């Protein structure tokens, strides 16, 4: 079991994936601007993980297959 299941039907629409990445990276920018480097790095790391999980490693065909074949 993974902590975050990024190959889920919820993340299939592109606009949701873009919104999640924009929110995390935007919040990181806000934290850096506010002088909170620690939290900026944390949210930037979450944003980088979201980019990798939602755009690079995301497989929409696997999502469709998992939905049609419940275990």
Model-level pTM? 0.80
How far is residue 26's CA from residue 31's CA, in Å, rounded to a whole number?
9
Task: Note the pLDDT of residue 70.
Answer: 58
What's the distance, CA 49 to chain centroid? 6
Token readout for 60 is: 């929409």
pLDDT of residue 1: 47
Nearest to 6 by CA among 62, 53, 61: 53
CB 11 within 8 A of CB 58: yes
What pLDDT, in 10s, does the model give residues 18-48? 999 999 999 999 999 999 999 999 999 999 9
Please state which of the ranges 42-46, 56-60, 64-68 shows the lowest mean pLDDT.
64-68
């Amino acid at each position: 079991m993974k902590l975050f299941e990024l190959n889920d039907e919820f993340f299939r629409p592109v606009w949701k994936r873009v919104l999640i990445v924009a929110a995390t990276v935007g919040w990181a920018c806000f934290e850096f601007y506010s002088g909170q480097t620690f939290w900026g790095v944390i949210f930037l790391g979450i944003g980088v993980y979201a980019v990798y999980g939602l755009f690079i490693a995301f497989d929409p065909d696997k999502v469709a297959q998992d939905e049609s074949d419940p275990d």
